[in-house]
Amino acid sequence: MSEISSPNREQRKSLIAGAVGNFVEWFDYGIYGFLAVTISTVFFPSDDPTAALLATFGIFALPVITRPLGGVFFARFGDTIGRKQTLSLVLILMSLSTAGIGFIPSYEAIGVAAPILLIVARIIQGFSAGGEYAGGAALIAESSPPAKRGFLVSFMPASTGLGLLAGSLMAFLLSSTLSPEAMHDWGWRVAFILALPLGAIGLYIRLKLEETDAFRELVSTGDVATSPLKETISQHGHRVLQVAGIALAQTVCYYVLLVYTPTFMRTDLGLQQWQSLLSTSLAIAFYVATIVVSGRISDRTGRKPLMIIGGVLMLLAVFPTFFLMPVAPFFLVATLQSLTGGIALGIYTGPLVCSWVELFPTRVRYSGVAAGFSLAVIVSVSSPFVLTWLISTTGSKLMPAIYVAASCVVSLLTLIKTPETAPAKDNENIFAMEKN
């Protein structure tokens, strides 16, 4: 037990190096999502609050354009020059673009130039984020022994939750201690500017890390892919689609229940900002804890059983959650969000990322995961915008549940055709068969 739950010094270094950029990225996503109402009043005219909120979420979804491009761009370098150097460059771009948002003047100060600058910053963020998740997952997986891989790689999605949790707690702290005027004038900027010191710390850690043994062996044998994306599509295209399919439920549920729901609680349920942020913070805390436990269990039971359990639980729980939320007291609202967006989603997510990296050989692991994950993000990152529009158009507060349920069905059907990837005596995956 202790052997599985206690990574050694080198594994801890890889964990931190792989997860730190992901933390910074999702800290920003959390702040942007949780303070969307405030941000909409800063960067857009105030005569139509719904239009301003739609514009804010539209810009939130902008990375959908550049994230796949960034994924392809950085994955090529990750599979040709190495994980370490590529992830360092990604972190620099991400930190600077995130902090830059905190320095953009308001619409009142510079007019239409304010939302234009916000768009530019979000485009750069999306481009850099495209190379972060796949690279971090590959780095951790290639630094982990097979018996611990599910547990250790689970810290990658857990860092997503931790970044979002830190963002929600920061938003909660700012909104509960500052006046609405102070929040509008300068309070929201503090969280974005924090990306500078966080990014500097992360960059230092990544530059001190050694390249993974798996990639160094490819270099020593001259087996590095010259056209990793072309090789990925031609030889592993079906795996890319499988990654996208099984990622869909996780990414959609994540964006809907943990990023969009705080705004839903305020604008559609009438809860106060501190209530929506507290409820979401509790759900994210359950999400992070469940991910690590689920990842650890997957090293013994396999990846697919836990993903199927988590997917079914999300499918069964999401309709009662959004049906009861409008009429439930705050305590029950928080409980429902924690059960669906915390525990059920955490069970599904725990072994998910590890299953991605185990589907591809080292030569194209970065490219394969980046391509599949980017396809899923194209659908999911626009969820807040789509749901804000659907609810305002139809008046139905069950739209988030329908959206999540559809994604769960797609992922569960994809899982049927996706092989079990956990190494076992009678089941060796591509990753395990490599002599690296």
**Where does 2-433 sit in CATH, by number?**
1.20.1250.20
pLDDT at position 54 is: 67
**209 contacts: CB under 8 Å, gap ≥ 6:** 13, 14, 17, 84
Q: Which of 339, 340, 318 is nearest to 399 (CA)?
A: 318
What value does the mean pLDDT take over residues 300-317? 95
Helices within 49-82 (DSSP H only): 49-60, 63-80
DSSP 105: P
User: How far is the C-alpha of 91 from the C-alpha of 203, rounded, in Å?
Assistant: 7
Helix residue ranges, H only, 35-154: 36-43, 49-60, 63-80, 83-101, 107-110, 113-129, 132-142, 149-153
Q: How confident is the model at residue 158 (pLDDT cuts 50, 70, 90)?
A: very high
pTM summary value: 0.82
Burial class (CB in 10 A: 0-12, 13-18, 19+), 199: buried
pLDDT in tens, 359-392: 999 899 999 999 998 888 877 767 767 777 777 7
pLDDT tens-digit profile of 204-256? 888 887 888 888 888 888 888 888 889 999 999 999 999 999 999 999 998 88
| Res. 63 pLDDT band, cuts 50 70 90 | low
Distance (Å, rounded) from C-alpha 79 to C-alpha 278?
41
Name the region of 111 (left: φ>0; alpha: ψ -120 to 50; beta: rest).
Answer: left
What is the DSSP secondary-structure string of 381-425?
A: TTHHHHHHHHHHHH--TTHHHHHHHHHHHHHHHHHHHSPP-S-BT
**Which residues in 242-268 are b (16+ Cβ under 10 Å) and which e?**
bbbbbbbbbbbbbbbbbbbbbbbbbbb
